[in-house]
Amino acid sequence: MNISYNWLRELTGVGLKPRALAERLTMLGLAVDGVHERGDDFLLEIDLTSNRPDCLSHLGVAREVAVEHGGALRMPAAVPSKMEGRAGDFTAVEIEDEDLCPRYAGRVVRGVQIGPSPEWLVKRLEVIGQRAINNVADITNYVMHEMGQPLHAFDLQKLSEHRIVVRRARSGERLRTLDGVDRELQTQMLVIADASRAVALAGIMGGEETEISNETRDVLIESAYFDPSSVRRTARALGLHTEASYRFERGTDYEGVLRAQERAVALICELAGGAATEDAIDVYPRKIEPQRVSLRPSRVEALTGLRVETSEMRRILSALGFIERAQPQTFEPEPSLRDGVLEMMPAGLHTTLSFTSPTWRVDIEREEDLVEEVARHAGYDGIAALLPPTASAGEYQPREIKKRALRRQLTAFGYDEAINFSFIESTSGERLDPIPKFATLIDADAEEDERAFVTLTNPIIEGMTRMRPTLLQGLLQSVRRNFNHGTRNVRLFETGIVFAARKGEGELPFEREALALVATGGAVEEGRAGDARELDFYDLKGAVEAAVDAMGLPALSFAPVSARHLRVGQAAVIMTGGQTEIGTIGRLSEEISAEFKFRQPVYVAELDLAALLEQKETPALYTPLSRFPSVVRDLSLLTNRRTSLSEMLAAIRELELENLSSAQLVDVYEGANLPEGKRSVTLRLEYRAEDRTLRDEEADEMHTRVVQKLAEKFGAEQRV
Amino acid sequence: MPEGASLGDPKLKAESARKAFEQEFERFARFRAGVSAESGLTLNSAEALERELSELRTRHTGKKSELASVKKLIGRVAPEERASFGQLVQQIEAEITRGVEEAEAALLAFINDARRERERIDVTLPGRRPRRGHIHPVTLVRERIEDIFVSLGYIVEDDREIETDFYNFTALNIPENHPARDPLDTFYTTTGLALRSQTSTVQIHAMQRRGVPVRMIAPGRVFRRDTPDATHNPMFFQVEGLCVDRGITMAHLKGTITEFVHRMFGPETRTRFRPSYFPFTEPSAEVDYSCFKCGGRGCRICKGSGWIELGGSGMVHPNVLSAVGVDAEEFTGFAFGLGIDRMCGLMYSLDDIRLLFENDVRFLEQFN
Ligand SMILES: [Zn+2]
């Protein structure tokens, strides 16, 4: 809302300097965003909240400024200099759809001379950024900015039968509006019509055919109150937003209709000549009752902590236009029990003030609204700053501590935390297998409409209609973006919600917190001492394992798997408790790499973080340190390349050797000097008895069984 | 030859042993005073010399040396000559030892220096370590906010991102025709659900779950249909705060926000509360804090006003309390909603907040 400083000062007589005034308005809730010098005037830009359409005018803002001085305003004169005839002699007004138009007033000025406006008027409009057109149009615009009531001037002679009908548009009806656009109307739209056709879009814009022109002699000035939601719907449907619709859809003063009309008619007589009718045709079939609202003065302090005298509350509200309805009613206070102590309210506070709300205040509904009115004008600055009395202890989200450990561990491993939008392109992410929880819902082989994607109807970025079923789509795009900027070493992780629809009608979609990682490029930071090495599967796996470890959760297990988005032979399913699948890890498949134009290996992992965090923490329990030495035997085996380490270790566990205290990998070797399809695996086996020193022969006996077992089960040959 | 040539034989032999040593030692003698830089020695040649020198010593003082055999001749020396013969032999032995040791010490010093030089490293090379990753700036700010409020006795809550009309609007007193419900402003799914447009939704869930009194904050993702530009994203992060109890007033709101701002931005930061409007609070207040860059004098960051908007706040609207079955006469409360990305943008002076969700490593690397 643009306000002219000089104009405001005329209305209020308040002599504050522009910046001081801006400060005052801001602290009253009318935030002034800018003060700009405009010739001998200043423009104040006010960022109004949507509940205060009454301040979409100089008068409205002036009311706020004037409260401090009792609310007195210098209202401009509004008596036409020349009056003759009754409005009914020249026109007629009929409201067919009073649900959308509760009030419509028409008044006529005859014999006007259309021409340019005087300089003062042009200048005043210019200060607030309005362009002058002609005297009559400028006056309607001026009065709207002065009093907040949008007005419209018709060329009376162009109205068929010189009369007005307010009704819904007829089916197929068209109207060429003032902006030159020929519009097809819909039947729920309210129009102003004459005897034969629509001549204006009610509350939004007039029609070209009945517009004021230089030849116009008689004008009909419309001042009305339209149903706010009707104006909003029509303006939105047509994509036509005007100063008038802006005010009507927020709510105008239904009792200010005649006052504004009279002011405009008086100005027309003064500036364009002509004679006004003595009255207006005011069709107002059902009087709108103003809001009644009451205030218990004690509520002001109870809600704001401000101590304001009841007399001061009355003064503020009265200056704002609230009318006190009767003498305050005293009520018997109900004693209240607080902390076991009977509390009586102080005398004089157990009263209720009741008010009739000013008709321009569409935002006032209840007591709390009055509390705010009082507090605004008493000044928020006077509210003390106190901490609430101590109550309970604070608490993080149950999983936050673990997630912090996760983030710290992954960053220690060189992963940057990423955050992507929750929506992705409508066709993307389909070939990335989702977390197991969603696997049956978003089955890539199912038909499009069978798949449970969550889809947006109104994306803001073209095509971004799908709520992400996987975090990987966003991360892979982030990798692409980094490659485009010449960064080839990228390690990212993200935690966030992934989505899948539920099949049932009206059911809320699944929301599941996931963790995803992506890694590509060198394993060692470039430009440092040390040898370069490319990242591989085990780097990513190590990061996942370390993160789980840092969260104090049981170790994950991994098994070969085939996943749509992972390269055959370098893909694993991730499991908790040795069997519950919670995600996948591996090297991105050739197809998807090609899709993203990746020319270097990219490793990805995605886990159901919620499922991961549901697990019980591994308790830290002390195990006594053995007092007896162990016997360590290394075992080098030539095995089939497809025999996995975990299969071999499982086979060893099957032997249930009581004194085998650990079996672990030392080294895997694959080289040209080994037979095709074979690899060499070296294991370290540690034998130990809890209660004595193990003899070599005992260890040898167990070791032999291990060798035999591996030979029987996998054909593994011991290498010497 | 002196007199007593009959006894002179052993003495001559001793002298000849001395001569033999001196001859061989001649090429080492120059090192006795130290190996100079001009010596032209390399590490390898010095090591060779040092080996030869130790062999030379063995040859001239060892059990099989000439001097050792001279010592054995003492029996042939006349008794009165024995003392002087003994002295002579000792003197020769001492000369040899001293000469060799001095040259050896010098050579070893040279060798040690040369070895250390060979193993000299460039201590200015960057240390060997894995690359460190970085936590996202939004998370850093969020963690700090959580820490502050947890220490003030708040519980951290969260809930769904896709919400029903009830939680996103109705329970928050956002009327049927309010612009916030418009599909121009709020994202909707094909099944008519909304992407939450404020974390105030969590107020409702939390009060339903926990009842009142309650003190909670809810940081999280929210969605509004803003076209991305330097100051807007269609997705951003917000923290909602709620404190409902008996006797809570705006003074507590003011005190809490002021305390938060002091801890977040420093104790010299001032706050300003000015009337505003939100459907879910009444009375409502917009919170500003004095610009941390200019201290309130006015600069580019605060657009000359000296104040930066922190977020919206106010006393929980009675309709919100009754939506969750709380008696608004008995309980009052305050709520606030602060923009995390916005704080983040201001704290780190971001000129384009779209960077927050592009995950450019060059950007992410800048935060700690
Ligand atoms: Zn500043």
The reply to whether residue B282 touches residue A371, judged by beta carbons under 8 angstroms, is yes
Q: Which residues make Cβ contacts (< 8 Å) with residue A163, sequence separation at least 6? A: A91, A92, A93, A94, A194, A195
**Do B80 and B175 sit in the same domain of this protein?**
no
Task: Residue A159: name the closest of A184, A190, A196, A214 by CA.
Answer: A196
Alpha helix stretches (DSSP H) within chain B: 5-29, 43-61, 66-72, 79-118, 137-151, 165-168, 201-210, 250-265, 318-323, 340-347, 361-364
Q: Which residue of B has its CA nearest to A422?
A: B235
CATH code linked to domain A631-718: 3.30.70.380
**Do B184 and B280 sit in the same domain of this protein?**
yes
Would you list the DSSP string of A352-412? EEEEEPPTT-TT--SHHHHHHHHHHHH-GGGS---PPPP-SPPB--TTHHHHHHHHHHHHH
**Do B221 and B273 sit in the same domain of this protein?**
yes
**Do B152 and B289 sit in the same domain of this protein?**
yes
The CA-based diameter of chain A, rounded to the nearest angstrom, is 130
Helix (H, G, I), strand (E, B) or coil at A234: helix
CATH code linked to domain A87-283: 3.50.40.10
Q: What fold is seen in the domain A2-69?
A: Phenylalanyl-tRNA Synthetase; Chain B, domain 1 (3.30.56)
CB pairs under 8 A between A and B: 269
Domains A2-69 and A292-382 belong to one CATH topology? yes
Show which of residues 74-93 on chain B sit within 8 Å of chain A, judged by CB atoms.
none
| Residue-level pLDDT at B66 | 85
- A92-95 and A163-168: which strand pairing? parallel
Please give the Cα distance from A522 to A477 (Å, whole number): 19
Task: Read off the DSSP letter of residue A22.
Answer: H
What does the pLDDT profile of chain B (368 residues) look like in tens digits? 444 444 457 888 888 888 989 998 998 888 888 888 778 888 999 999 999 999 998 988 888 888 888 888 888 888 888 888 888 888 998 999 999 999 999 999 999 999 998 999 888 888 877 788 999 999 999 999 999 999 999 999 999 999 999 999 999 999 887 878 888 899 999 999 999 999 999 999 999 999 999 999 999 999 999 999 988 999 999 999 999 999 999 999 999 999 999 999 999 999 999 999 999 999 999 999 998 888 888 888 788 888 989 999 999 999 999 999 999 999 999 999 999 998 998 888 888 999 999 999 999 999 97
The reply to whether residue A400 touches residue B156, judged by beta carbons under 8 angstroms, is yes
Does B333 map to a domain?
A: yes
Question: Which of B250, B315, B350, B354 to probe the A interface (max A CBs under 10 A)?
Answer: B250
Q: Which residue of B has its CA nearest to A519?
A: B133
Of A371, A420, A458, the CB nearest to B359: A420
Asked whether A604 and A666 are in contact (CB, 8 A), the reply is no
Does B76 map to a domain?
A: yes
**Do B165 and B101 sit in the same domain of this protein?**
no
| Residue-level pLDDT at B36 | 81
Task: Read off the DSSP letter of residue A680.
Answer: E
Task: Residue A468: name the closest of A426, A422, A417, A504 by CA.
Answer: A422
Show which of residues 267-306 on chain A sit within 8 Å of chain B, judged by CB atoms.
301-306
**Do B74 and B177 sit in the same domain of this protein?**
no
| Residue-level pLDDT at B1 | 40
**Chain A touched by B2 (CB under 8 Å):** no
**List of chain B residues whose C-beta atoms are within 8 Å of the C-beta of residue A525:** 129-131
**Do B250 and B322 sit in the same domain of this protein?**
yes
Q: What fold is seen in the domain A292-382?
A: Phenylalanyl-tRNA Synthetase; Chain B, domain 1 (3.30.56)
Of B139, B221, B251, the CB nearest to A305: B251
Q: What fold is seen in the domain A399-613?
A: BirA Bifunctional Protein; domain 2 (3.30.930)
Q: Which of B119, B152, B174 is the last residue of a domain?
A: B119
Q: At A225, which helix (H) or strand (E)?
A: strand A219-225
The reply to whether residue A395 touches residue B213, judged by beta carbons under 8 angstroms, is no
**Domain harbouring B273, CATH code:** 3.30.930.10
Q: Which of B53, B88, B119 is the last residue of a domain?
A: B119
**Do B14 and B141 sit in the same domain of this protein?**
no
The reply to whether residue A459 touches residue B187, judged by beta carbons under 8 angstroms, is yes
**Chain B touched by A401 (CB under 8 Å):** no
Going from N- to C-terminal start, the domains of chain A cover 2-69, 87-283, 292-382, 399-613, 631-718
Asked whether B254 and A385 are in contact (CB, 8 A), the reply is yes
What are the residue ranges in chain A where pLDDT is below 50?
Answer: 340-342, 344-345, 347-348
Q: Which residues make Cβ contacts (< 8 Å) with residue A621, sequence separation at least 6? A: none
Please give the Cα distance from A633 to A333 (Å, whole number): 89
Of A366, A383, A422, the CB nearest to B235: A422
CA B291 to chain centre: 29
Asked whether A566 and A584 are in contact (CB, 8 A), the reply is yes
Q: Which domain holds residue B18?
A: 10-119
| Residue-level pLDDT at A328 | 60
Q: Is the pTM of this model over 0.90?
A: no
**Do B277 and B232 sit in the same domain of this protein?**
yes
Angstroms from B113 CA to nearest CA on chain A: 25
The CA-based diameter of chain B, rounded to the nearest angstrom, is 139
| Residue-level pLDDT at B2 | 47
- Number of structural domains found in chain B: 2
The reply to whether residue A489 touches residue B157, judged by beta carbons under 8 angstroms, is no
**List of chain B residues whose C-beta atoms are within 8 Å of the C-beta of residue A485:** 360, 362
**Do B95 and B244 sit in the same domain of this protein?**
no
Q: Which residue of A has its CA nearest to B146?
A: A396
Of B146, B188, B271, the CB nearest to A456: B188
Show which of residues 272-291 on chain B sit within 8 Å of chain A, judged by CB atoms.
273-277, 282-286
Name B239's bridge partners: B219, B338
Residue A129: Cβ-neighbour burial (10 angstroms; 0-12, 13-18, 19+): exposed
Does B126 map to a domain?
A: no
Task: Read off the DSSP letter of residue A699.
Answer: H
**Do B156 and B227 sit in the same domain of this protein?**
yes
The reply to whether residue B359 touches residue A410, judged by beta carbons under 8 angstroms, is no
Q: Which residue of B has its CA nearest to A385?
A: B255
Backbone angles phi, psi at B78, to 5 degrees: -60, 145
The reply to whether residue A27 touches residue B126, judged by beta carbons under 8 angstroms, is no
**Do B151 and B227 sit in the same domain of this protein?**
yes
* CA atoms in the 13 A half-sphere facing the CB of A42: 17
